[in-house]
């Protein structure tokens, strides 16, 4: 291919007939440029530049192929990792759904237990209130009876005091003192 290119360049380097005088003269610029160009192409061919350029291009193409292959492998790895993460995401979502369902069950059970405990507490408080009412009622009845006894004793004392003579009162006081002495000893 390089030989064809150099032949094409040689044919394209024909004089443009712009210079005057004989073509094969060193005074003719077209001839000098043609010789310089042929020498330049000859030096390039002698130094095997087209082969080196081909090798460099081949090496570059191999590097690009290697980069493409590595990119393909990385893409496949990325797709595999993505698939793994999607699978794990689905598993985690399933676990999260299970946790939420368990939490709902637990909260319902706790609410039911709280209702039962509240009902038991209400029953206990009602019983305690009934007991307090009964106790207060019995205390009120006892107080009323005590007050009635006190009033009756006071009334009886007044009645007896009006009906008794001084002698009878002194006798009763002596009897009460004697009874107190007996009980204390």
Query: Residue ranges per domain, the chain?
Result: 27-111, 118-170
Say if CB 15 and CB 40 are below 8 A apart. no
Please tell me the predicted confidence (pLDDT) of residue 11.
58
pLDDT of residue 21: 60
Q: What is the pLDDT of residue 87?
A: 94
| Alpha-carbon span 111 to 106, nearest angstrom | 8
Token pair listed for 168: 């009878």
**Looking at the chain, how many residues does it have?**
185
**Opening angle at CA 110, ends 106 and 113, nearest 5:** 140
User: What burial letters (b/e) apply to 172-185, b meaning 16+ CB within 10 Å?
Assistant: eeeeeeeeeeeeee
Q: Return the pLDDT at 84.
A: 95
Is the pTM higher than 0.75?
A: no
Place of tokens 């305690």: 128
Q: What is the pLDDT of residue 66?
A: 95
Pick left, alpha or beta for residue 19 (phi over 0 → left; psi -120 to 50 → alpha; otherwise beta). Answer: beta
Residues of the chain where predicted confidence (pLDDT) is lower than 50:
16-17
């Amino acid at each position: 291919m390089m030989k064809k290119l150099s032949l094409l360049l040689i044919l394209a380097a024909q004089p443009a007939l712009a210079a005057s005088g004989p073509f094969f003269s060193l005074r003719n610029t077209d001839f000098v440029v043609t010789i310089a160009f042929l020498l330049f192409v000859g030096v390039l061919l002698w130094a095997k530049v087209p082969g080196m350029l081909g090798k460099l291009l081949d090496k570059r193409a191999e590097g690009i192929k290697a980069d493409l292959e590595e990119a393909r492998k990385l893409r496949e790895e990325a797709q595999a990792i993505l698939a793994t993460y999607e699978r794990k995401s689905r598993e985690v979502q399933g676990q999260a759904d299970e946790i939420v369902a368990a939490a709902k069950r637990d909260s319902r059970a706790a609410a039911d237990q709280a209702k039962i405990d509240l009902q038991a507490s209400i029953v206990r408080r009602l019983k305690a209130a009934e007991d307090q009412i009964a106790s207060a009622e019995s205390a009120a009845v006892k107080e009323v009876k005590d007050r009635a006894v006190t009033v009756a004793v006071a009334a009886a004392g007044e009645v007896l005091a009006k009906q008794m003579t001084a002698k009878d009162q002194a006798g009763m006081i002596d009897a009460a003192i004697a009874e107190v002495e007996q009980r204390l000893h």
